[in-house]
Amino acid sequence: MERSLVENLTEKIVKKQAKVAIIGIGYVGLPLAVEIARNNYDTIGIDIDKNKVQAVNRGQSFIGDVSTTELAAVVKKGKLRATTKYEVCRDADIINICVPTPFTPSKDPDVSYIIEAGKSIARYFKPGKLIILRSTTYPETTEKILLPILEATGYKVGKDFYLSFTPERIDPGNRVWTTRTTPVVVGGVTPKCTELTALFYRQFVDKVVPVSSPRVAEMSKLLENIFRSVNIALVNELARMCDRMGNIDIWEVINAAATKPFGFMPFYPGPGIGGHCILIDPYYLAWKAREFDFHSNFIELAAETNEAMPYFVVDRLFEILGTNGVAAKKAKVLIIGAAFKRNVEDTRHSPAIKVMELLEGKVQKIDYVDPYVPEIQINGKKFRAKVLTPGLIRQADCVLILTDHSCFDYDLILRESKLILDTRNAINRRRVKKLYTLGYRRQ
């Protein structure tokens, strides 16, 4: 029986006859769905958000990494559609799970979306399916959380169905490393699971890297992001140290160190870290490590250091205002950038949002400018983006640069502002007295 199921699915994959479902059509699922559909697989996106489903079926993209032109083309061709109904899993040969994996207020993993997706798949299960978990999570989620749900149907992995983990590696706004060009790591529960998953991804991804198990694939994803978290925390701590010492510019220090052609990779300080993975992943691994009586102090300390940066930025802002004779309660602050990184619309865990939450109610007025983010909620209060004009800049007691989009006119900001706190080194002109930066304090 196993041979016939494997041969049947292999043939469908190679001949582009496999029907593919994507559960979750957000920042991970939609680019994946479009790439699969572009390679002539009949693809269907499943999401509980009716607005996303309707947008996909109209061919209207709501994610910066997928153009409306790209989406509309595969929708018009009949290769991609979306629905809120999990019943379509019954006819799907391959199901990719791309649901969110947030953490709780106490920093514990929340895999409830994975559990719900697994239960929904199980309700419409039949032999011969390939299930691929893409959501970032802690090691053993695939085998100890998802697998038991699927095997509760009475079917057995490696015999009746196939299950793998392939971590997403989305870098919002990156035009070079896309769904197709970014290598995919594949870890199957059995060798046949790995083989079928690798075969499928090789149809539309340039490079596939098989590993020995889902646990290795899950841990590799965490390592990638914790590596960034730890190194960002290092430069954030050095930035605060340079600020304390005075007359040592952390940006100049990093640029000097980066001239070493080996053994060094530059990372840069900022107002904090954002996005889905880098902030969350250290806590996922730390939580799992405690199950084995292992305390990942180093990893957790890095996460705490990064999460402290918005508070440091606010304290520094208040200090700058006070030094220049402006009381915080009477200050008007103009925020430049609300997204979590430059040139994207993504505000998930954005440090700019956190800074605004800390400032709201403590200053007289907050305005923000971000052409990528037209509207945000701060402590339950709705803010709409303003247009960057000389008048808007002149009204502010201090301009606070939190996201360095390339579209901003930094010469205009420098010329018209009273005070500037630049947390991204976007302006980089140290001799201007009204300009303050993170990690440098003039003596």
Q: Which residues are catalytic?
A: 277
The dihedral sign for the CA sequence 4, 9, 12, 18: positive
CA distance 395 to 332: 7
Token representation of residue 25:
């059509």
**Residues 152, 116: contact at Cβ < 8 Å?**
no
- 199 token code pair: 């075969």
267 DSSP β-pair partners: none
For 153, phi then psi, to 5°, come to -75, -15
Residue type, 442: R
How would DSSP label each residue in 290-347? HTTT---HHHHHHHHHHHHHHHHHHHHHHHHHHHTT--GGG-EEEEE--SSSTT----
* Residue 45 backbone dihedrals phi, psi, to 5 degrees: -95, 140
Chain position carrying tokens 């996909």? 56
107-145 burial by CB neighbour count: b if 16+ within 10 A, else e?
A: eebebebbeebbebbbebbeebbbbbbbbbbbbbbbbeb
Per-state percent for the chain, helix, strand, coil, to nearest 5: 40, 15, 45
| Alpha-carbon gap, residue 438 to 269, rounded angstroms | 8
